Amino acid sequence: MAEVVTRNKKLLDWVNEVKELCTPKEVHWCDGSEAEKALLIERMLETKTLKKLNPQKRPDSYWAGSDPRDVARVEDRTFICSERESDAGPSNNWREPSEMRETLKSLFRGSMAGRTMYVVPFSMGPIGSKFSLIGIEITDSAYVAVSMGIMARMGQEVLGVLGEDGEFVPALHSVGAPLAEGQTDVPWPCNPDNRYIVHFPETREIWSYGSGYGGNALLGKKCLALRIASVVARDEGWLAEHMLILKLTSPQGVVKYVAGAFPSACGKTNLAMVVPTLPGWSVETVGDDICWMRFGEDGQLWAVNPEAGFFGVAPGTSEKTNPNALHTLGKETIFTNTALTSDGDIWWEGLSDEPPAGLIDWKGNPWTKDSAGPASHPNARFTVSVTNGPSIAPEWEDPRGVPISAILFGGRRASLVPLVTEARDWEHGVFLGSVLASETTAAADGKVGNLRRDPFAMLPFCGYNMADYFGHWLKIGAGADQSKLPKIFLVNWFRRSEQGKFLWPGYGDNARVLEWVAKRVDGSVGYQENALGRVPEPGGINTDGLSITDEALEELVRVDGELLSDEVASIREHYSQFGEKLPEALAKQLSILAEAASKS
């Protein structure tokens, strides 16, 4: 391993301060080298944090099983500690900053005893890009250090860009499980009864305690790239979004870059890596989860994927749903909380129609179809470098970003919401994003009721008051060249018939909707108007080779008047939580929709 060098006084002082507070047995500055990665993996194999998978089946890949109490993000233990409670807003948990600091300091005092303190310099975004933000994560988890090396650009090169006086986001993490002299470690140390994931927006700080899992511990991801970055974006005039970025190329070689926000379980990663069924069309992946957008000198919105890896949900990923994701996972991957096969590979629900014999479940117990509970945890994950992906676009880490032509918002709705709706203008598009919703359970009668509103798919990730966030989107649009703004669309792959059957085939056929989107961007195809916006005319969606009736296509774009009235009431209730902070433009858009509902 190379010697890590920095003369950044602010960083050195902070590392010493944390060392005094947390009292680790040693400090390791991560250089990001392959030798270092091998060393940390060897340590985790010794502590049984990792298990090496069959190298013939899955080269250079490993399996981890978490503590069963530490398996996902913990929204109820995630805090935005702004100076004023009103700046956190109704969708965030707020605590007074100085009180929270005292709570955290008492928890972190001595928390790394007996452990190695890893200093992880990382860049969200290409190193040296004007888009990028530098963070320093201090952690006592080798699993986190290695995973950060996959999910971000990490190591000495980042310190070189930081220089002697560069700014960084300090991100402090501890699993909260100090080791006494001679105490044997456990494979997955954590402190599930004392979890805190805390953000201080004004001082751009992150403190995370008690969890070793995912977005709770890999602090460059949701914590920095969304919650803190959304505040930076508000202050500096750009957008930090929970969005995929894809490159769509027509048979004529015309390229469009599309961003898309989808709540969980709505096919976001599948769309980012989709294999089109339309001959001649191709989709390449720029990013599957986070998108930072800034205006270029040409007046267009340019976007980068600030991550360097995929941290995806494994269950449900298959050759049918996402073949590109499966091919990405063929080597150099860390799997967490999947099942294990008898021959040293991994398995999860949906990977195959029938589970293989001799499975070991995610908790380490023998599993059969008669066992209680699934073989893999529903939130089981894979962590893998973006460069492993066969669908990755060559320009995925271009420091300039890529120019965005269209923005999609998508939810899981069995009724009411058409297959694809184009917003009439930017303001109307912000309205559609602000009321984005997915059904949490099957809505057997088709009525609104079992909905979770997730505005812009940012509900758990916006670092400030969401009403102010809506206002920021409106301000971005108002100050832009209207002719160069991306068009905004609402999509819904999950519309059902009265018999409960999906009306749209989905997966690779979603590229047919992307084709319509691209043609609307060019103005080369028409539309028809309804109460929600602009939808395809009859024959507007290319259905060549698709077994779908004209009646189903008509139903896919129909808006039911009775359901629309219910939706207006639901949106009104949703908006009421924001009080006087709700932008007037969105109240006006709701009035327009209410009037349309009264006439339908």
pLDDT of residue 442 exceeding 60: no
- Percentage of residues in the chain having pLDDT higher than 90: 95
3-state secondary structure of 346: strand
DSSP classification of residue 529: E
pLDDT of residue 272 exceeding 60: yes
Find tokens 């919703």 and name the residue: 437
Write down the pLDDT at residue 185: 95
Over the stretch 95-141, which tens digit does the pLDDT of each residue have? 999 999 999 999 999 999 999 999 999 999 999 898 899 999 999 99
Structural domains for the chain: 9-48+73-236 (3.40.449.10), 241-307+396-559 (3.90.228.20), 309-388 (2.170.8.10)
Write down the pLDDT at residue 599: 86
Write down the pLDDT at residue 266: 86
pLDDT of residue 538 exceeding 60: yes
Give the up-direction half-sphere exposure of residue 343: CA atoms within 13 A in the CB hemisphere: 6
Residue 316 falls in which region: left (phi positive, over 0), alpha (psi -120 to 50) or beta: left
Query: Of 67, 47, 97, nearest to 213 (Cα)?
Result: 67
* Angstrom distance (rounded) from CA 499 to CA 116: 58
Average pLDDT for 188-193: 97
CB burial class (10 A; 0-12, 13-18, 19+) of residue 599?
Answer: exposed
Query: Of 416, 314, 251, 354, nearest to 58 (Cα)?
Result: 314
* Angstrom distance (rounded) from CA 222 to CA 228: 9
pLDDT of residue 177 exceeding 70: yes
Residue 299 CB neighbours (<10 A): 12
Write down the pLDDT at residue 392: 97
Average pLDDT for 5-31: 97
Write down the pLDDT at residue 448: 43
* Angstrom distance (rounded) from CA 483 to CA 426: 11
Handedness of CA 578, 582, 586, 591 (dihedral sign): positive
State both tokens at 189: 């140390």
Over the stretch 330-360, which tens digit does the pLDDT of each residue have? 999 999 999 999 999 999 999 999 999 999 9
Q: What is the mean pLDDT of the chain?
A: 95
State both tokens at 89: 């807003």
Over the stretch 196-212, which tens digit does the pLDDT of each residue have? 999 999 999 999 999 99
Query: Of 117, 106, 105, nearest to 25 (Cα)?
Result: 117
Residue 472: in which H helix or E strand, if any? Answer: helix 466-478
Write down the pLDDT at residue 249: 98
Over the stretch 559-586, which tens digit does the pLDDT of each residue have? 999 999 999 999 999 999 999 999 999 9
DSSP classification of residue 392: B
Over the stretch 44-64, which tens digit does the pLDDT of each residue have? 999 999 999 999 999 999 999
- Strand pairing partners for 135? 122, 169
Global pTM reads: 0.96
Write down the pLDDT at residue 1: 55
State both tokens at 323: 């073949």
pLDDT of residue 449 exceeding 90: no
Average pLDDT for 70-92: 96
Write down the pLDDT at residue 265: 78
Write down the pLDDT at residue 97: 98
- Residue numbers annotated as active site: 266
Distance of CA 59 to the CA centre of its chain: 27
DSSP classification of residue 225: I
- Percentage of residues in the chain having pLDDT higher than 70: 98
Report the b/e string of 348-359 with b at 16+ CB within 10 A: bbebeeebeeeb
* Angstrom distance (rounded) from CA 29 to CA 110: 19
DSSP classification of residue 194: S
